[in-house]
Amino acid sequence: MTEISQIRMPHSYAIGITAALAAALVWSMNFVVPFVIDSYSVFDFALLRFVISGGVGVITLAWKWDKARHLVLRDWLVAALLVFIGYVGYFLLVAGSAIYVGPVIAPAILGIVPVVLAIAGNLRQGTVPWRLLAAPLMLVVLGLWLVNRETPANIDYSATPTLLRGMLLAIGAVALWTWFGLANQAALAVRPNMDTGIWTALILIGGGVEMLAFFPVGALLGVFQIPHLGLSWKAAGPLYVWGISLAFLSSVGGTWAWTIAARNLSVALSAQLIVAETGFGAIFGLAVHSRWPTWAEATGLAALIFGVVTAIRIFYRKNG
């Protein structure tokens, strides 16, 4: 009985890991959106998704008003900045990168986010010795490379200026998400009594407001199709179905789960857990295209999974 209690994972630690994996799962569903919204753009989808989830945030604050009324201006401003860094700004850079270089190289570059965030997190917090973190990081890098190994063959290097713009936007997205991972955990650390539901609501409201503010600019740039296609059910049925579904699953559920993970795990570990988003996304992508993975993709996914499991064991032994 004593041995069993010694190997049992701490409750908060198990909750953090479960929450991080849940966030990765629901966020990975975004990878299938471009294939299922017909003639509408990802910007149309994002507008609908963020506005709906922002409405959920307003309802949540009203429901928890006894606690929400104690929020100060700084809480709102910090949440708004985090929203722009990790949600709206990140999304715009990702979408812009995909416009310039297509949907292949952008995800390949974004795949380094977990590695960069894990390194930045461990530099900042010194959670585990680098010699222990090296193995899972190498497995994650290997897995990401194998999953995306065919990417270079699909790139037109003759369009150098366009390729450069797309790569710079993708690298900018990596920088924003790394910044968000560190800043969000720091913001929660100085607010130990902040209700996770209220913090999630602030993020959701910020996303809705900022996406609405971007709409006039995006309309002038021509990235929205709503002004041309309208919003009738006949034309926008798939947009409504996926926008509403992922507003609740990805925006609301994912943000709430990630807030819980950030409270219970170090940045270095949560960064490696979020790499599961790539694995889940690849599985959903294969399902959409109705095909089995190639040997490289299968091996890469296995390496990603093994790297994540190895990281969990290392961090648990260090902190358990």
The Cα 109–Cα 300 span in angstroms is 15
- Tens-place pLDDT, residues 155-198: 454 445 666 777 788 788 888 888 888 898 889 889 888 898 89
Confidence of residue 205 (pLDDT cuts 50, 70, 90): very high
Confidence of residue 229 (pLDDT cuts 50, 70, 90): very high
Half-sphere exposure of 317 (CA within 13 A, CB side): 9
> Which residue would you say has higher pLDDT here, 307 or 49?
49
Q: Which pLDDT belongs to residue 113?
A: 67
Taking alpha carbons only, the member of 313, 311, 254, 245 closest to residue 280 is 254
Torsion over CA of 258, 262, 265 and 267, rounded to 10 degrees? 100
Q: Which pLDDT belongs to residue 295?
A: 84
> Which residue would you say has higher pLDDT here, 144 or 245?
245
Q: Which pLDDT belongs to residue 175?
A: 85
Q: Which pLDDT belongs to residue 262?
A: 83
Vertex 45 angle, CA 40 and 49, to 5°: 160
Q: Which pLDDT belongs to residue 3?
A: 37
Please give the share of the chain, as a percent, with pLDDT higher than 70. Answer: 78
Q: Which pLDDT belongs to residue 161?
A: 60
DSSP string, the chain: -HHHHHHSPPHHHHHHHHHHHHHHHHHHGGGGGGGTSTTS-HHHHHHHHHHHHHHHHHHHHHHTHHHHTT--HHHHHHHHHHHIIIIIHHHHHHHHHHHHHHHHHHHHHHTTHHHHHHHHHHHHH--S-HHHHHHHHHHHHHHHHHHTTTGGGG--TT-HHHHHHHHHHHHHHHHHHHHHHHHHHHHHHT-TT--HHHHHHHHHHHHHHHHHHHHHHHHHHT---HHHH---HHHHHHHHHHHHHHIIIIIIIIHHHHHHHHHHS-HHHHHHHTTHHHHHHHHHHHHHTT-PPPHHHHHHHHHHHHHHHHHHHHHHHHH-
Vertex 275 angle, CA 257 and 124, to 5°: 80
Q: Which pLDDT belongs to residue 53?
A: 93
Interval 198-226 mean pLDDT: 92
Which segment of 101-115, 194-208, 269-283, 306-320 scores lowest on mean pLDDT?
101-115
Statement: residue 266 has pLDDT above 80 = no
The Cα 320–Cα 315 span in angstroms is 8
- Tens-place pLDDT, residues 1-48: 333 334 445 667 788 888 988 988 888 887 777 778 888 988 899 999
> Which residue would you say has higher pLDDT here, 207 or 269?
207
- Rounded to the nearest integer, the mean pLDDT of the chain is 79
Interval 225-245 mean pLDDT: 91
- Tens-place pLDDT, residues 120-157: 766 666 666 777 777 777 887 787 777 666 554 444 54
Q: Which pLDDT belongs to residue 76?
A: 94
Q: Which pLDDT belongs to residue 51?
A: 94
The Cα 27–Cα 292 span in angstroms is 22
Q: For residue 2, what are its two tokens?
A: 């004593």
Q: Which pLDDT belongs to residue 207?
A: 92
Please give the share of the chain, as a percent, with pLDDT higher than 90. Answer: 26
The Cα 32–Cα 21 span in angstroms is 18
Residue ranges of domains in the chain = 20-319
The Cα 127–Cα 85 span in angstroms is 25
Q: Which pLDDT belongs to residue 315?
A: 65
Statement: residue 223 has pLDDT above 80 = yes
Highest mean pLDDT among 147-156, 168-177, 247-256, 294-303: 247-256
CA distances for 253 relative to 7, 78, 223, 257, angstroms: 30, 21, 27, 6
Q: Which pLDDT belongs to residue 5?
A: 37
Half-sphere exposure of 224 (CA within 13 A, CB side): 18
Q: Which pLDDT belongs to residue 80?
A: 93
